[in-house]
Amino acid sequence: MNKFLRLGLVFTFSFLLYIGFSQSSTYAAALGEQLKSPEEGWTRYSANNKLFNYGNLWDHMTDEKAKIAYSGAKTGSAGDLNFNFKGTDLRLLTSVNYSYSKKVAISIDGNVEYFSPYNQSVKDYNYNILIYEKTNLKMGVHEVKIWTVEPSTNTLGNDYRLYSIDVIGEVTTEVPSVEQPGTEETTEPEQPTDPEQPSGNRAILVVTMTTGLEKEFDLSMKEVNSFIDWYETKQAGSGKASYAIDKHDNNKGPFKSRKDYILFDRVLTFEVSEY
């Protein structure tokens, strides 16, 4: 076989493979494109579906050329349309024309965006042009409202014509769930309780410091109560910053007295064991 002929066959085969792979790639419609039928995964609702709530300033007719129904916002009005859908994605399909409004608003859950069905170069009516798309919404029920911002001044009948609405999900009569404020249980911060006053003759007082060190004292109940009174007074915001505890017979060495000074802001907790 001729060398150049073999190269030609290889090139032709490669080109055919390229076309085949290109045609099998994932396809997604672009704004301004006509979608005569919904893409895979989308559900189409005709504009005359009873789940759509139109205001009074709308015409509901059939496009004789396309043989499909449409709803047209009457010229010079701000005719509004309301509906809810449960899902994640939304598309509006209208016609475009030189006589239509240059600014139409759409609100989804209160977030307002705009689209325009106006196209100066289009003199004839068409249908199912992808004019607006919103994707990747949080799964759930969404509230949609559409209205004209800049009414057309033409005398041809409508500010724009809505033919279809495509959704990934479904148009529904359900309403968005609203979390009611104040439904969560609130927990009051735990208030410190006053230490119970011991009633015996003597007790072991164990004071745990913020460093983890424990100090143990064998005291009379009078001394223990005096320590507790100091702690409560200081906790209330007054009194001395330290308290001296007499060690008594625990003294070691030739001392007349030996006292341990406890700093209030170093006390983590204390325990009283009567005996």
Write the pLDDT tens digit of every residue in 202-213. 888 899 888 878
- Count of C-beta atoms within a 10 Å radius of residue 144: 20
**DSSP summary character for residue 118:** B
Please state the pTM of the whole predicted model. Answer: 0.56
Type of residue found at 144: V
The pair of structure tokens assigned to 18 is: 């390229």
Q: List, for residues 144-191, the tens digit of each pLDDT value.
A: 999 999 988 776 688 999 999 999 999 999 998 865 444 445 555 555
List the domains of the chain with CATH numbers: 29-172 (2.60.120.260), 202-274 (no CATH)
- Rounded Cα distance between 206 and 272, Å, is 7
Judge contact between 204 and 218, C-beta under 8 A: yes
Q: List, for residues 22-54, the tens digit of each pLDDT value.
A: 333 345 889 999 999 999 999 999 999 999 999
- Rounded Cα distance between 129 and 34, Å, is 4
Q: What average pLDDT does the segment 86-111 reach? A: 94
Does the pLDDT of residue 261 top 70, yes or no? yes
Q: What is the dihedral of CA 37, 173, 57, 116, to 10 degrees?
A: -50
Ranges 62-66, 141-145, 198-202, most confident: 141-145
- Rounded Cα distance between 192 and 198, Å, is 18
Does the pLDDT of residue 259 top 50, yes or no? yes
